[in-house]
Amino acid sequence: MKNIVILISGGGSNMAAIVKQAEKADWAHRLGARVAAVVSNKADAQGLVFAREHRLATAVLDHKAYPSRDAFDAALMAEIDRLGGAGSMAGQPALVVLAGFMRILTPGFVAHYAGRLVNIHPSLLPAFAGLNTHQRAIDEGCKFAGATVHRVTTELDHGQILDQAVVPVLPGDTAATLAARVLTQEHIIYPRAVERLLSGG
């Protein structure tokens, strides 16, 4: 079984979209894959409630409890490998999926999961890497915005692009209204990209 471990920090709507697609499309039988666990760096992350309701293993590692970024990432790697390796082949988890995980990861962490670490970013990369993407797109007068699923590398938001969705920027849009419109597309392209990776695409 190819295990997926999803990392969240908040509501986990992209995580929920992936879990729902895994169930709907029967990844377990079709692809030999499953969402094995959800890990958060915040105990009050609402996404943990959804994960537990869907009988997924969950774990919380509070980054504030660790003396350094390296120490936290080392503990996080150990927990991911423990959860992602349960009932699976060696070398699991097959994928580590960042779904609103609000941490910049260390090079050691990225190297440990090289080729298996994916993220979604709320812009049409390579445009608007980093934060405040929607407001920056509006301020620049962009006619289109969107979201990008990409592999994670040590360079922030610059890994191989796996999927994208384009969303129009409408007259009168605010960062909030644009973000809401982009999010609906994130929920489509992220499960699609994960499924494609699991299929060997």
* pLDDT given for residue 137 in this prediction: 98
Q: Are 152 and 159 in contact (CB under 8 A)?
A: yes
Element (H, E) at 98: strand 95-98
Write the CATH number of the domain with boundaries 1-114. 3.40.50.170
Q: What is the pTM of this model?
A: 0.95
Active-site option among 63, 112, 121, 187: 121
Active site residue 134: no
Task: Give the strand pairing for 2-8 and 144-151.
Answer: unpaired
* pLDDT given for residue 83 in this prediction: 93
> DSSP of 21-89, one letter per residue?
HHHHTTHHHHTSEEEEEEEES-TT-THHHHHHHTT-EEEE--GGGSSSHHHHHHHHHHHHHHHHHTTS-
* pLDDT given for residue 90 in this prediction: 47
- Condensed to tens digits (0 to 9), the pLDDT of residues 90-136 reads 457 999 999 999 999 999 999 999 999 999 999 999 999 999 999 99
Element (H, E) at 165: strand 161-168
* pLDDT given for residue 88 in this prediction: 52
* pLDDT given for residue 85 in this prediction: 84
Write the CATH number of the domain with boundaries 119-201. 3.40.50.170
- Condensed to tens digits (0 to 9), the pLDDT of residues 142-199 reads 999 999 999 999 998 999 999 999 999 999 999 999 999 999 999 999 999 999 999 9
Residues 6 or more apart in contact with residue 14 via CB below 8 angstroms:
99, 100, 120, 186, 187, 190
Residues of the chain with CATH 3.40.50.170: 1-114, 119-201
- Condensed to tens digits (0 to 9), the pLDDT of residues 22-70 reads 999 999 999 999 999 999 999 999 999 999 999 999 999 999 999 999 9
